[in-house]
C-alpha cells in the first residue's frame, strides 16, 4: 500500500511525504551510505538472483534511506536532493528476462537511482539501458513502482507494464498511491475536482488506494503558503496522517494494511523526518551532519530512546546491500 505526496508549490522548501502501509513490520532501519560503495544489482544479500549480465555500479552520491527487511531501499534522498520512494503496485510486470540488457532487481531499484542520479532527468536517463527484474522476499514479490523528485521541484512516476517502463514526468505529478495504474488513477481524479476544495465537496473516506489518492489531492490543495520550515513540514505530515490506516487494523479479505511509519524528506534543507506509528515522537536527521564514510551508519527507529534530532545517534552498521 502506501501514499506519496510532493509539495513543490511553496516558496520555502520542496517536501516529499510518504506513508508505509504493510501487514507486518518491514523492520526499517535509517541508513546513511557514503559515496564510493560498490553494488551488485543481481544479488539479494548473498543470494544471486540475476546470474546473466547483472548491473554493477559504484555509487557517485551519498544517501540517507529507510530500508525494508534489511534487503533494499524503499525511501530516502541523496546529497544532491534527489528523492526516491518505492510503493507497492500489484500490477507491476517486469516481463521476460533479456540477458542482453544489464539486469537490476527491483529491491535495489530505488538505491540505484539515489547512488547515480542528481536530478529527475538524470534518473530517467539511467533507465534507458537497464532491465528491471522481479525479486521476492518474505514470501512476497517486490512489485514496486517509484515516485522520484528533486530539489528543483521536478517529479516523475515510474511503472512497469508488460515489461516496458511507463513514465509520467513533470512537476504536476505530485501524488501516488497504489493500484490501479497511474493512468487510471489520473482519470479517476479528473472525474472530481479535488484540486479545488470546498466545504461542500464530498470527500472519499475509504483507505483504498483510489480514495487515498483523491483525499491526498484535496488536502494538498488546502495547504497554505507556510511562514516557516516547521509549518511546511507540519502541513505535509498532516496529509500523511490523514491518508494513514490505524495501527493494528485487520487486513485479511479487506486488504487493509496498517501504517507502520510516515516520512517527510526536505530536499531543500536536506532534513529527513521519520514518524513511527507506535512512537509518540517524531525524529529527524540532518543529512549534512552525518558521518558519511566507507562503512554505512544506521539507527533503528524502534529504539524507544530516540526522540527529536537523532543525527548523532547513528552508529556503524554491517548492512549487506
Residues present in the chain in total: 321
**pLDDT above 90: percentage of residues in the chain:** 86
In this predicted structure, what is the pLDDT of residue 230?
Answer: 96
Average pLDDT of the chain to the nearest whole number: 95
Mean per-residue pLDDT for 306-311? 97
Residue 197: pLDDT band (50, 70, 90) is confident
Asked, for residue 254, whether it belongs to a domain, the answer is: yes
SS3 call for 302 = coil
- Is 185:194 a contact under the CB 8 Å cutoff? no
Instruction: Give SS3 for 221.
Output: helix
pLDDT tens track for 242-271: 999 998 877 666 667 899 999 999 999 999
Question: For the segment 67-105, what is each residue's pLDDT rounded down to a tens digit?
Answer: 999 999 999 999 999 999 999 999 999 999 999 999 999
Residue 321 lies in a domain: no
| 115 located within any domain | yes
Catalogue the long-range contacts made by 95-101 (C-beta closer than 8 Å, 24 or more residues apart). Answer: 95/160, 95/162, 95/163, 95/164, 96/163, 97/50, 97/52, 97/131, 97/133, 98/131, 99/52, 99/53, 100/53, 101/53, 101/129, 101/130, 101/131
Segment 158-190, tens digit of pLDDT: 999 999 999 999 999 999 999 999 999 999 888
Separation between Cα atoms, residue 9 and residue 1, nearest integer Å: 26
Tens-digit pLDDT profile for residues 29-49? 999 999 999 999 999 988 999
51-60, 240-249, 305-314: least confidently modelled range: 240-249
Predicted confidence at residue 201, as pLDDT, reads 86
> What per-residue confidence (pLDDT) applies to 131?
97
Determine the pLDDT at residue 252: 61
> What pLDDT does residue 195 have?
75
% of the chain with per-residue pLDDT over 70:
98
Q: What is the pLDDT of residues 213-242, one digit of tens each?
A: 999 999 999 999 999 999 999 999 999 999
Q: Could you give the number of structural domains in the chain? A: 1
Residue 254 is predicted with a pLDDT of 62
Residues of 44-62 as b/e, b for ≥16 C-beta within 10 angstroms? beeeebbeeebbebebbbb
**Could you tell me the CATH number of the domain that includes residue 151?**
3.60.60.10
Label residue 289 by pLDDT band (50, 70, 90).
very high
Domain membership of residue 181 as a residue range: 3-316
Question: CA distances (Å), 164 to each of 115, 116, 128, 167, in order?
Answer: 23, 21, 11, 10
Amino acid at each position: 500500500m502506501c501514499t506519496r505526496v510532493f509539495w513543490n508549490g511553496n516558496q520555502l522548501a520542496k517536501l516529499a511525504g510518504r506513508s508505509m502501509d504493510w501487514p507486518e513490520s518491514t523492520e526499517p532501519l535509517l541508513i546513511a551510505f557514503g559515496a564510493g560503495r560498490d553494488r551488485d544489482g543481481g544479488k539479494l544479500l548473498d543470494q544471486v538472483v540475476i546470474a546473466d549480465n547483472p548491473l554493477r555500479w559504484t555509487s557517485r552520491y551519498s544517501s540517507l534511506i529507510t530500508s525494508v527487511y534489511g534487503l533494499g531501499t524503499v525511501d530516502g534522498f541523496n546529497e544532491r536532493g534527489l528523492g526516491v520512494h518505492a510503493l507497492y503496485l500489484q500490477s507491476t510486470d517486469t516481463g521476460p528476462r533479456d540477458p542482453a540488457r544489464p539486469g537490476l532487481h527491483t529491491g535495489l531499484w530505488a538505491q540505484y537511482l539515489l547512488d547515480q542520479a542528481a536530478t529527475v532527468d538524470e534518473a530517467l536517463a539511467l533507465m534507458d539501458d537497464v532491465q528491471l527484474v522481479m525479486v521476492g522476499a518474505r514470501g512476497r514479490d517486490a512489485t514496486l513502482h517509484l515516485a522520484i523528485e528533486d530539489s528543483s521541484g521536478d517529479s516523475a512516476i515510474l511503472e512497469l507494464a508488460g515489461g516496458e517502463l511507463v513514465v509520467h514526468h513533470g512537476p504536476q505529478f505530485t501524488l501516488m498511491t497504489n493500484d490501479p495504474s497511474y493512468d487510471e488513477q489520473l482519470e479517476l481524479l479528473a472525474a472530481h475536482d479535488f484540486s479545488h476544495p470546498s466545504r461542500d465537496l464530498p470527500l472519499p473516506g475509504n483507505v483504498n488506494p483510489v480514495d487515498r489518492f483523491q483525499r491526498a489531492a484535496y488536502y494538498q490543495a488546502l495547504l497554505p503558503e507556510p511562514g516557516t520550515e516547521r509549518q511546511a513540514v507540519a502541513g505535509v505530515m498532516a496529509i500523511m496522517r490523514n491518508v494513514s490506516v490505524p495501527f493494528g487494523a485487520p487486513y485479511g479479505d479487506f486488504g487493509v494494511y496498517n501504517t507502520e511509519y510516515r516520512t517527510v524528506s526536505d530536499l531543500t534543507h536536506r532534513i529527513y523526518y521519520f514518524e513511527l506509528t507506535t512512537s509518540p515522537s517524531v525524529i529527524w536527521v540532518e543529512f549534512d551532519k552525518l558521518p558519511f564514510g566507507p562503512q554505512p551508519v544506521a539507527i533503528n527507529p524502534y529504539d524507544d530512546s530516540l526522540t527529536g534530532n537523532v543525527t548523532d545517534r547513528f552508529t556503524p552498521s554491517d548492512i549487506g546491500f
